């Protein structure tokens, strides 16, 4: 009976252990510590398909407690039941020269996974950061580089933890490191470094890197900073710049003045339209807005060709003398046909005919009229003389029997 019961009990025991192992959660994988100075962040990987409702617990303990003590070790919890895949150990008060053992385990509804461990030594594994600030200043041809130490999580200098911290400086001429043929370097533990033997009136750029030789730690370089050196002042160059600046200012003022005059002449002209023009060209007598004339307006454009000459030719005087009374020219009486007559002198002063009986024309001297007629008739071509003769002949034929003409 005992012989049969023992194999059965062994079978159930093995089955229970198999179910217990199968029910355990997967262990977090790929534990890494992301560090910079004294800022530490532990990260790990977890496959979501293993379990969706899962939380993680991250803990640490001093490494010597696990190695040398036989009693039960008390782990210090940093992150408890967190759903993130990281935990910040910066505030865990880890000594920079100490050695620690970190672990992470998963928890799904009370079911715990096995722990994953990571050994961490801050002074060996933690990366050092670049200088917190770099500034440049120049004194003549020399450039001073002001360097501030990297800062720890407690806003203290990293030289407190790394006394042999030094700085590696790269400097070159020109704005681009790739285009510079000569790149110089300098190492120093001081926070103020002077770059000497530089060319005057030249741009130099600087980058700084933090180094610690004990564990061969090197930070990234800072962003390039550039500054121009000084040299002996060239007075003629200063005068040239001053004169050039004054010339540019004068041209700018002159251009603005010309532009102002042009705009003022267009918007506010000096010559204004007369009042009798404004009466007909504007919308209303009190308005300055012009009125546009359109093709549909009621006004009509009437034109007639008029030829005005100061003194008629001799042949026209001879023809016109047949229409006047010789007695009326000396006595001023009326003509035989009842029309008005004028003096013989007035007939030589005007070349305008009128059919009105009471015509009165201004009198001019015969000498002035002769000079004006010579200038006028000298400007006429032969064709114009022929036209005038033709018009005079037509006038004589059409005016036969009409003696009431004022000359």
pLDDT digits (tens, 9 = 90+) for 122-162: 999 999 999 999 999 998 889 999 999 999 988 899 999 99
29-125 shares its CATH topology with 133-229: yes
What residue segments make up the domains of the chain, in order of their start? Answer: 29-125, 133-229
pTM of full prediction above 0.75: no
What is the band of 171 on the pLDDT scale with cuts at 50, 70, 90?
very high
Tell me how far apart the alpha carbons of residues 222 and 75 are, in angstroms, rounded to a whole number: 39
In angstroms, rounded to a whole number, what is the distance separating the alpha carbons of residues 135 and 398?
111
Higher pLDDT, 281 or 244: 244
268-322 pLDDT, tens digit each: 877 776 776 666 665 555 555 555 555 555 556 667 777 766 666 665 555 555 5
pLDDT of 204 over the 90 cut: yes
Q: What is the pLDDT of residue 233?
A: 74
CA 385 to chain CA centroid, nearest Å: 73
**What mean pLDDT is reported for the chain?**
74
CATH number assigned to the domain covering 29-125:
2.60.40.10
CA pair distance 194, 225, nearest whole angstrom: 15
Asked whether the beta carbons of 346 and 407 are under 8 A apart, the reply is: yes
- 64 phi/psi in degrees, rounded to 5: -70, -25
CATH 2.60.40.10 describes domain 133-229: yes
Inter-CA distances, 35 with 19, 52, 85, 118, 190, Å: 40, 29, 16, 14, 25
Tokens 């620690």, residue located: 100
CA torsion through residues 281, 283, 285, 286, sign: negative
Q: Give burial (CB, 10 Å; 0-12/13-18/19+) of 250.
A: exposed
Calpha distance 282→274 (Å, rounded): 12
Q: How many CB atoms are closer than 10 A to CB 265? A: 10
Lowest mean pLDDT among 37-41, 159-163, 294-298, 336-340: 336-340
**What does the pLDDT read at residue 51?**
64
The average pLDDT across 384-395 equals 50
User: Where would I find the H helices in 138-289?
Assistant: 235-267, 275-281
What proportion of the chain, given as a percentage, has pLDDT over 70?
61
């Amino acid at each position: 009976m005992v012989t049969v019961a023992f194999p059965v009990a062994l079978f159930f025991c093995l089955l229970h252990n198999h179910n217990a192992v199968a029910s355990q959660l997967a262990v977090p994988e790929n534990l890494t510590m992301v560090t910079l100075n004294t800022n530490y962040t532990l990260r790990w990987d977890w496959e979501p398909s293993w379990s969706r409702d899962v939380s993680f617990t991250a803990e640490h303990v001093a490494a010597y407690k696990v190695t040398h003590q036989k009693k039960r070790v008390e782990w210090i919890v940093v992150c408890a039941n967190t759903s993130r895949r990281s935990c910040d150990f910066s505030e865990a008060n880890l000594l920079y020269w100490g050695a620690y053992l970190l672990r992470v385990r998963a928890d799904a509804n009370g079911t715990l996974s096995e722990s994953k461990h990571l050994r961490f030594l801050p002074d060996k594994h933690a990366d050092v950061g670049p200088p917190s600030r770099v500034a440049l200043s120049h004194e003549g041809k020399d450039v001073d580089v002001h360097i501030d130490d990297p800062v720890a999580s407690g806003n203290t200098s990293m030289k407190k933890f790394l006394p042999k911290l030094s700085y590696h400086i790269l400097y070159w001429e020109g704005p681009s490191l790739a285009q510079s043929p000569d790149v110089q370097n300098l190492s120093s533990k001081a926070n103020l470094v002077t770059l000497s033997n530089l060319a005057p009136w030249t741009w130099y750029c600087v980058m700084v890197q933090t180094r610690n030789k004990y564990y061969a730690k090197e930070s990234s370089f800072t962003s390039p900073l550039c500054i121009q050196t000084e040299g002996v002042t060239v007075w003629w160059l200063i005068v040239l710049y001053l004169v050039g600046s004054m010339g540019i200012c004068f041209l700018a003022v002159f251009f603005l003045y010309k532009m102002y005059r042009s705009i003022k002449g267009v918007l506010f002209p000096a010559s204004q339209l007369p009042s009798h023009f404004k009466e007909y060209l504007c919308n209303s007598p009190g308005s300055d807005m012009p009125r546009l004339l359109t093709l549909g307006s009621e006004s009509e454009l009437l034109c007639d060709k008029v030829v005005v000459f100061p003194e008629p030719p001799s042949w026209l005087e001879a023809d016109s003398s047949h229409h006047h009374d010789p007695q009326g020219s000396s006595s001023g009486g009326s003509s035989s046909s009842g029309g008005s007559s004028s003096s013989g002198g007035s007939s030589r002063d005007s070349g305008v005919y009128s059919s009105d009986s009471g015509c009165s024309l201004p009198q001019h001297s015969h000498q002035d009229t002769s000079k004006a007629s010579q200038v006028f008739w000298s400007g006429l071509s032969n064709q114009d003389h022929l036209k005038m003769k033709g018009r005079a002949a037509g006038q004589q034929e059409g005016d036969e029997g009409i003696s009431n003409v004022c000359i």
